[in-house]
Amino acid sequence: MIRLNKKDLFDILYGCTILGTGGGGSLEQGLENVYKAIDEGKEFILVDFDELDDEDLIATPYYCGAVSPETEEDRKKYERLPLAEELPHVIAFRNLEKHIGKEIKAVISTELGGGNTAVAFEVAAWTGKYIVDGDPAGRSVPELQHSTYYLNNVPIQPMSLVNEFGESIIITDVVDDNRAEDLVRALAVVSNNTIAVVDHLNTSKVLKNSVIRGAISYAWKIGKAFNSAKVEGYDVVDAVIKAGDGVKLFSGKVIKNEWSTEKGFTIGEVVIAGDGDYEGHKYKIWYKNENIIAWRDDKIDITVPDLICSMDVSRQEPILNPHFEEGMNVVIYALPAPVEWTTEKGLEVFGPRSFGFDTDWLSPFR
């Protein structure tokens, strides 16, 4: 059991942002929200499954939606609606407890991302619950079925949803995670492209064999390496690659970044002209919230489930999609996929073919 302080949270959420591969929500907003909770005397307590009883209930709070910045059109569309007085994910969590009539002991993040991991942490802090050191993705992922819960047949329902206007719903039955994705995404689209969700309610006994244990500790390790290198003046990409057994893929300058918000996702394509050892070459990444597939000189270079990560060289900051800017100097590097995603079923659910690309998994780590 570890009581996390501000420096711990800073390192963890930076690590989550790096592992978010362009998605996973806003690091800035995540840090602001967890710091506010600490300033108000709330505690963030990280535990292992072994510190929980087998019958303790655990739930997964997160936001579902696009990572696109809000447009003026969106702002005007929703400006007449009053905002909820409490954090939507906290309301959703409390609604789920009321629905089942039982106490939920702990939370677990749905993915590793600067925003969405912070959501789980916030819910734990504001409701007095534990944070479990685990995760069902080991990175950020764009869709609800992209989870080890789905790989292990853990039911997603009941699901508690609340949007920023305080409108709420409990879904008691759903056919499967793919159908849940369709339903939740549709509600996000009509809720300013984001909605709070709490789902995968189950016991510690079930979930400890259904997630990637130690995922938060891994993000903490990556974040520490990054932040230490930044403070001490070392190469931050080299530090992350060393900490995560990764590889450098490309470096250069952004020459094009085109994106749009489609059906609740941020979908785009960034093109980079190489420099240094990569001069004369081009690199292209296609993203659906997260970076999914990349080409070097029109030849596929790497695909999910490996982590395609990007770093703004000048600012020494991980890049959140769609915030590539023309002229930005970037380094693209990869970290290996969690082993759970490299199985036959894992690749069926979260390999390149699941996104419509006619290619098998391509990896620099195989």
Residue 231 has a pLDDT of: 96
Nearest to 363 by CA among 291, 302, 298: 302
Instruction: Return the domain boundaries, the chain.
Output: 2-213, 242-355
Structure tokens at 52: 């929980």
Structure tokens at 93: 């969590």
Residue 67 has a pLDDT of: 82
Cβ atoms of 351 and 360 closer than 8 Å: yes
Residue 66 has a pLDDT of: 82
Residue 68 has a pLDDT of: 84
CATH classification of 242-355 is 2.40.390, yes or no? yes
DSSP 303: E
Amino acid at 36: K
The region, left, alpha or beta by phi > 0 then psi within -120 to 50, assigned to residue 177 is alpha
- For the chain, which ranges sit under pLDDT 50? none
CATH number of the 2-213 domain: 3.40.1610.10
Task: Check if 2-213 and 242-355 are the same fold.
Answer: no
